[in-house]
Structure 1
Amino acid sequence: MTTPSFDSVESQASYGIGLQVGQQLQESGLQGLQPEALLAGLRDALEGNSPAVPVDVVHRALREVHERAEGVRRERVEAMAAEGQTFLEQNAQREGVSSTETGLQFSVITQGDGPIPSRQDRVRVHYTGKLIDGTVFDSSVARGEPAEFPVSGVIAGWIEALTLMPVGSKWELAIPHNLAYGERGAGASIPPFSTLVFEVELLEIL
């Protein structure tokens, strides 16, 4: 296959569209897709050609690959949820870990003596967020700048923890998926049904 020169705006835009479509297909979880066949379908559509494969066959094939992808996704999220539950059960046995009625777990690293925020407050915090395998997905500490946000504007596990923490405290939180991002996850860094671990330092109420 001849490599395009990409020396015109049209060729660059065309490549960009192809790149976006390819990324979306990769993220979709569809397995076994063949680039040559994909390009043939794209070319036939753009050039107004008759489909090389009967439409009913195409629909049946699409349904099958989507069902396969959904099965793989379901297995992954079920495994993720089970791993999170096991982690929480083990974490609950650690010395110094407290659990609330909702399932939030926390341990006190440093206990402050300042006021406790309400849901109506804005706060400034430092935090590091990890998956249960230790992968850091976000950190204000690494960025070198505290985060500021309304207490009511974050995930349920954070809201609950912040409305228990005195200013000056640093706590470690273990947040079940139903108090975090649940079945949706959050982008590529937080898969669906992820239990999350945060180290949170409450610096001040704004």
Structure 2
Amino acid sequence: MLELTYRASWALVGLLFFSSASAQTRVFDLSEVIESGNVTLIQLRGNGSSSGAALDGELRNNSGGRLLIRTAIRVPLYLSNRGGSSRQNMIATQIYSDDGGYLSDGSESFIELPTSSSIQVMFIAYCADFEKDNPQYSDTFSLIDLPPELASVARKISDYEAAHPGQDTMVASQVALWLVQGVSATEIKDKFSFDENELKAARTILGAN
């Protein structure tokens, strides 16, 4: 039976403060700069986790200037598992430096991509396919269009996480992603542990009672 593992995102995140002068630079959404070609996702791989800080990757800055990328991915990424159709695809909703660090100007949190450089990053991501096997260390992922049936819930998860930056939302986000696909709370609990408060939060994400 599939057993889901995760690393808690809130335990990994470190914080540095940006100067007020630097804070005037525009902060971009990751989806926006990938679509424009200003950023390339060079590689993306599993790290043994199934939810939370589950993916490691590398970004390349093609823009010719420094870029600031918001940690909350407002248009979540759908990541197809190249390791085989039997293993999980993932939905990424947050991005941090590879050590979990990020910068802040007091109102937004973000990471910095230096000019003409590549950096290592990690993603907060969730298993999109309830019945499939966990992603493996050897699995690599490619960015493809978010399936229409998952677009709404992915955005709701991202918005909820952005609105609750100091709250552990990882379990609730994963549960919400599966509930909306018609998987019952009982079925989910057989594979992924959660408590009543986390189930309530998942239903709040979905706008349900």
TM-score (norm 2): 0.23
Identify, as 1 or 2, the structure richer in helix: 1
Using CA pairs below 8 Å that are at least 6 residues apart, which structure has the higher relative contact order? 2
Larger Rg: 1
TM-score (norm 1): 0.23
Identify, as 1 or 2, the structure richer in strand: 2
